[in-house]
Amino acid sequence: MRPEIAWAEAMKFENRPDPYRFFDELRRTPVARVADDLYVVTGYRELQTLAHDPRVSSDIFRSPLPAKMGASGESSSEAEPMKAQGRPPTMFILSDPPDHDRARRQAMRHFGPPHTPDLIPSMGPDIERLCDELLDKAGGKTQIDLVDEYAYRVPLTVICKIMGVPLDDEQALHDWIFHAVAGVDFSPEAATEDGKTRAAKGMESRSALRKYFLELTEDYLRKPGENLLSRLVNDDGPDGPMDPTEAAANAILLFIAGHDSTVNTISHCVLTLLRYPGSIELLRRRPDLIPRTVEEVLRLQSAVQFFPSRSATADIEVGGTVIPEGSAIFLMYGAANRDPRRFPDPNKFDPERPDNEHFGWGSGIHVCFGGPLARLEVNIALEVFLRRVENPRLVVDPPPYRRSPVFRGPQHLVIDYDRIGD
């Protein structure tokens, strides 16, 4: 199969439950050109090299992609005026040093050590209580949609609290994020009428998110509160307070990244355990294997399959291919995580896999900012599920998937069980 065909198949929505057979095809050329100005990297070693190469930029204003997506349906109006006006402040995931490092430091100051070492560890009891309450609600019945009734509620509630986002606004935020994410499409379906409608709706929703978070940031400037967003714009640490427009852009990043991939990872953990007979019993006997299980599920079912921001600032030779300057580069974490040159028997779920340095959290300077929080949430959610849900069974396999090729996870995950224990 030619790389461009394998790429198109991997990106199609109908193949979201299993894009991996197409990634295997793509990996025959570990660094492959799949369209004009677009190279995808599916080999572990090649991805590792590029993730740490300073000639690979995450600056979205350097990427050829926004203009390209204009040609295939998504309006480029979000990127083009920015290019014309110079660069407005943006999310640090879409920027390079020194801006990236400074903004990441400013946000980390209010999230983790050394300035805020106790925030995440102190959330453990709240997370466990929340998981218990959610399962209590499922007590009077024998079926649950694990996504809507459990996996989504836990990280959403936690990130709202950390960031100072009112939980009452959750439904509007959920809808905007749903459309914002579904509007990004790299498959041939982007050029269809439906694809164009989704792209337009995505743009509208991104605007609504920007407006919402700018207003919230301004509220906290006027009336400071005890939360990350407020501290970001008011606290005068070594890097000073963050400019409000930049803080609002990063609030969108932290809010979405701060729950969406965690939802998908909790759901994929339960899905994987239910697919492998005996693994639920194994983890009940050996709860010490839960942290390793979470990492193995991230390797197998990476919640962030790739992040479409990167481009080459010079001609870069890697894996026998020269990526020309100016090309977009997708580091395909999900594909490299199943590279048989790196992981023996890569499609097998092995909660005791000894050497598991996967890319589920990314690699290099953009490596996940929220890993310690996500791990705490997923570990507790899984531990409580295993302890209380008796005889869980999958009702639909594969479950329906969310549309996004980037943030991959089930839309719903219906599970039958005998009862919810104490």
Interacting residues toward ligand HEM by CB under 6 A:
92-93, 104, 253-254, 257-258, 261-262, 265, 298, 303-304, 307, 309, 333, 360-362, 366, 368-370, 373-374, 378
Tell me if the bond preceding 117 is cis, omega within 30° of 0. Answer: no
| DSSP structure class, residue 304 | B
| Residue 224 CB contacts under 8 Å (≥ 6 apart), including other chains | 230, 234
| DSSP structure class, residue 410 | B
In the complex, what is the shortest distance from the CB of residue 365 to ligand HEM, in angstroms, rounded to a whole number? Answer: 6
* Residue closer to ligand HEM, measured from CB, 205 or 301: 301
Match 């959290």 to its residue by tokens: 361
Residue number of the CB closest to ligand HEM reads 370
* Residue closer to ligand HEM, measured from CB, 186 or 333: 333
In the complex, what is the shortest distance from the CB of residue 27 to ligand HEM, in angstroms, rounded to a whole number? Answer: 19
In the complex, what is the shortest distance from the CB of residue 6 to ligand HEM, in angstroms, rounded to a whole number? Answer: 22
Copy the structure tokens of residue 116. Answer: 């805020």
* Residue closer to ligand HEM, measured from CB, 152 or 333: 333
In the complex, what is the shortest distance from the CB of residue 260 to ligand HEM, in angstroms, rounded to a whole number? Answer: 8
* Residue closer to ligand HEM, measured from CB, 178 or 417: 178
* Residue closer to ligand HEM, measured from CB, 252 or 420: 252
In the complex, what is the shortest distance from the CB of residue 232 to ligand HEM, in angstroms, rounded to a whole number? Answer: 12
Helices 244-257 and 99-108, packing angle to 10 deg: 70
* Residue closer to ligand HEM, measured from CB, 282 or 368: 368
In the complex, what is the shortest distance from the CB of residue 74 to ligand HEM, in angstroms, rounded to a whole number? Answer: 20
Among 107, 42, 30, 80, residue whose Cα is nearest residue 337: 42
Interatomic CA distance for residues 107 and 230, integer angstroms? 11
Sign of CA dihedral 356, 360, 362, 368: negative
Q: What angle do CA 6, 192, 40 make, to 5 degrees?
A: 30
In the complex, what is the shortest distance from the CB of residue 187 to ligand HEM, in angstroms, rounded to a whole number? Answer: 21
Alpha-carbon Rg of the chain, whole angstroms?
21
* Residue closer to ligand HEM, measured from CB, 93 or 247: 93
Interatomic CA distance for residues 323 and 60, integer angstroms? 18
